[in-house]
A and B are shown apart, each in its own frame.
Chain A
Amino acid sequence: MSHESVRGDHDASRYLGAKNLKRDSTFLLSSTPSDAHTWNLIFLQLLIEEHGYTVINLGACVPLAFLIQQCLFHKPDVLVISSVNGHGCDEGIRLIHTIRKIPELQDLTTLIGGKLGTQGINNRIYTEDLLTAGFDAVFHADSALPEFIKLLESAKTP
């Protein structure tokens, strides 16, 4: 499948707007298997719900097998992976490789955001690897929130 990823400025909302984010979309929200942080997930759940969407929040330290089972069960419109412990790039790549091997999940819109490496602002070097691996959009901590809000507001009416 093609992943038309915009390098450089990587305007995620413009790309995903074209993918028909609907007003009644369901979001499945999760962290990575090794990430125990939860305030990011609690905040994101509230934010997404306030924009009118349904959220299923799997919490922290989510094993990959469990995540896949939940994707197949709930059939969400969007999968959001939020990670801030610095392992997000490596775990994200493993995660998306596995997800994309499953026929039912090949076209699942999947986003990842947070602090995805341990390099501070240099974490942006991981964007290309994550997009190549199969993510539809990548959000980095310093600009994640305004970009993500733009995305949430970009839904067309059903």
Chain B
Amino acid sequence: MRENEVWNTENPAISAEANPGWFARFIATQRCHRQLVVQPRMGFASPERMRRGLMAVHRSAATTVGTITVDSYTRVNNDRAAYEALVNARDLNGFPIVTHGPEITRQMLKGILQQNFPVQVRHGSALPFKIIQTLLHADLDATEGGPVSYCLPYSRVPLRRAINEWGASCRLLASERTKGKVNHLESFGGCMVGQLCPPGLLIALSILEGVFFRHHGLASISLSYAQQTNFQQDCEAIQALRLLANRYLSDLDWHVVIYTYMGVYPRTEEGATRLLRESVQLAIHTASERLIVKTSAEASRIPTITENVSALETAAAWAQKLSAQGDQEPSLADALVCNSEVYTEAQDLIETVLDLHLDPGEALALAFERGLLDVPFCLHPDNRNRARSFIDEHGWLRWAEPGSMRLPGFHNHSPISSITSQQLLEMLTYNEQRFDDPSNPLVSRTAQRNVRMGDTSIRKV
């Protein structure tokens, strides 16, 4: 079985306390117990506060893994700005792991990082080598990103440069297998620009990054998928993702991680809870192994530890309830999923890209150069940004314009040729409206939105 192949390393050099790759093993164990793992986003500048946050997550009434979210200065390799913010006690939106260094990080984790509480480092960096080097020296074993998913949405770094550095970073993570440590890397490809990307492309990008990770020696990976605007569409997409992972990545240890909606969040407590619960239902229904939750606070500021714990416990309680009800049967038989539009679209995109070159990194670079991959609304200079999406009358994400992508299922049924700021705002706030006020039909919601423009603020999406 795959897991044995990945972890069958008996190395006497590893002491009992050393981390052999706790993250991947923990997820596998919880999968055997059919227990959903929930995880927050969390990053504070001070090691003391970061430690308290991790402890609170571990002690919460939920099956959790911990998160260290790195700050934005460190993400863009501006260690000097991170250092200055630290010494001058200025606002920092995460843990500056490179500035603190491996020793302080290791001390911060002492007694917390363990077999039954692994920790993942989240960073969003297009050039992550130093961050990954630091986390490995701190005896951590799990991180996330990818050459495309952490370059195009979040940087101006040329794609080829990101591909090179991500290749080196993957090889660094993989190199520890010689001493018996299996490091884990999650692809952020299912979360491209956070929202409004039709699922076929999200799936293709996750799988392609997985292929890239394997090419550079990684043995344990996960594939992401962000909750979008329609539950049925998301279920079908995740099932397609799992089948395609079986097809293209069967020799790796892999699992699926779901992200609670990353866009404009409901304003009401009830709406936020409903949205969170739907993401839990999505995870349970598709037998996904891990869920990254969101708090309602994140719409306006960085959440407190208490808010994060509350979201984790809410998610865990709902998962418990759904599991007890036996809600773990997939909605569609595999054969139906294989014939679905989303599966076909994703597979076509994957095959088109892999055909371009034997080296998956080079294949990805060529694909974006030629517009064969094109992420809607992505402003990066190396993305064509001609592709467009829209939300149809049933709440499904559809292609309005495919750009140069080959999408056999595309039939030019879009009602809009170019988008207005009003239409964009409606798409961005679709879930907020849907969950804050589920009784109102969409038409009158749109009318209300026009009236409310006067007091609507530009919110974090």
Contact = CB atoms under 8 A, between A and B. Distances in A.
B90 A90 contact: yes
Contact of B301 (A47, A118, A144): A118
Nearest to B84: A90
A145 B419 contact: no
A59 B81 contact: no
Interface in B311-359: none
Interface in B163-177: none
Interface residues of B, number: 41
Contacts, number: 117
Given A38-B377, A57-B379, A90-B91, A142 B457 contact: yes
Grouping DSSP codes into helix (H, G, I), strand (E, B) and loop, the B interface class, with mixed when no group exceeds half, is loop
A66 B158 CA distance: 14
A157 interface: no
B156 A63 contact: yes
A44 to B, nearest CB: 8
Contacts of A68: none
A120 B301 CA distance: 5
A34 B76 contact: yes
Contacts of B424: 42-43, 46
Contact of A86 (B302, B379, B380, B419): B302
Contact of B72 (A36, A119, A121, A142): A36
B378 A33 contact: no
Nearest to A38: B379
B83 to A, nearest CB: 13
Give the interface size bracket for A toward B.
Answer: 35 or more
A144 B75 contact: no
Interface string B377-404: 1111100000000000000000000000
Contact of A141 (B85, B194, B454, B458): B458
A125 B76 CA distance: 26
B312 to A, nearest CB: 21
A150 B10 CA distance: 68
Given A46-B419, A86-B301, 5 more contacts: A41-B379, A46-B420, A60-B156, A85-B93, A121-B300
30 contacts: A36-B75, A36-B76, A36-B154, A36-B155, A37-B460, A38-B153, A39-B428, A42-B377, A43-B428, A44-B458, A46-B419, A46-B420, A50-B421, A59-B156, A60-B156, A61-B76, A62-B156, A84-B460, A85-B72, A86-B72, A87-B93, A115-B300, A115-B301, A115-B460, A118-B91, A119-B301, A120-B301, A141-B458, A145-B456, A146-B454
Interface of A: 33-44, 46-47, 50, 57, 59-63, 66, 82, 84-87, 89-91, 113-115, 117-121, 141-146
